[in-house]
Amino acid sequence: MNLLDVIKKRCSIRQYTSTPVEPEKLNYLLEAVRMAPSAVNFQPWYFIVIREPEGCTRIRECYEREWFATAPMYIIACADLNQSWKRASDNKDHADIDVAIATEHLCLAATEQGLGTCWVCNFNVPKCKAYFNLPENIEPIALIPVGYPARPSLCEEAPKKRKPLQEIVKWETF
């Protein structure tokens, strides 16, 4: 698969098998995360790997959906607001951008490895911070379930809905 094939194959997986993710595959995903670019190369992020039953129970309480509970493991993508770059001209914090890039590396690497993921941002942040002992400056940005899709064809069953290029690309000027 070339990169565009992987990008097109990735989709939000909302049903997993209970098969554990092999440690080698998990390491591959984490290496893809580690190599992500970030503003000023500050790398203002932490990725919490949740595999043990206690952590799985807790994270499922942060996002109570039946499908979410089917995943065998999770990664909490976190921003470190003390380390992120703030642009001088308007003080814009680039933490979310940095973490999002690294997190999508994770999702694409997972797709390439035959695994499924789903971005989840609609979770209970205070619960997540308390359950996983996140300090004040660490913000959980996304919960990413990782596992084998219950049906490999899940994505083909829900073909991608995307705006056409002519709607989103402006040439030379807005």
Ligand X SMILES: Cc1cc2nc3c(=O)[nH]c(=O)nc-3n(C[C@H](O)[C@H](O)[C@H](O)COP(=O)(O)O)c2cc1C
Task: List interacting residues with ligand X (CB under 6 A).
Answer: 11-12, 118-122, 160
Quote the distance between the C-alpha of residue 169 and its chain's center: 26
52 vs 64 by CB, closer to ligand X? 64
Taking the complex as a whole, the smallest distance from the CB of residue 113 to ligand X amounts, in Å, to 17
How far apart, in whole angstroms, are the C-alpha atoms of residue 38 and residue 102? 8
Helix (H, G, I), strand (E, B) or coil at 79: strand
Residue whose Cβ sits closest to ligand X: 122
Among 16, 21, 17, residue whose Cα is nearest residue 110 = 21
58 vs 65 by CB, closer to ligand X? 65
73 vs 155 by CB, closer to ligand X? 155
| 147, 115 contact by CB (below 8 A) | yes
Taking the complex as a whole, the smallest distance from the CB of residue 133 to ligand X amounts, in Å, to 22
Taking the complex as a whole, the smallest distance from the CB of residue 170 to ligand X amounts, in Å, to 22
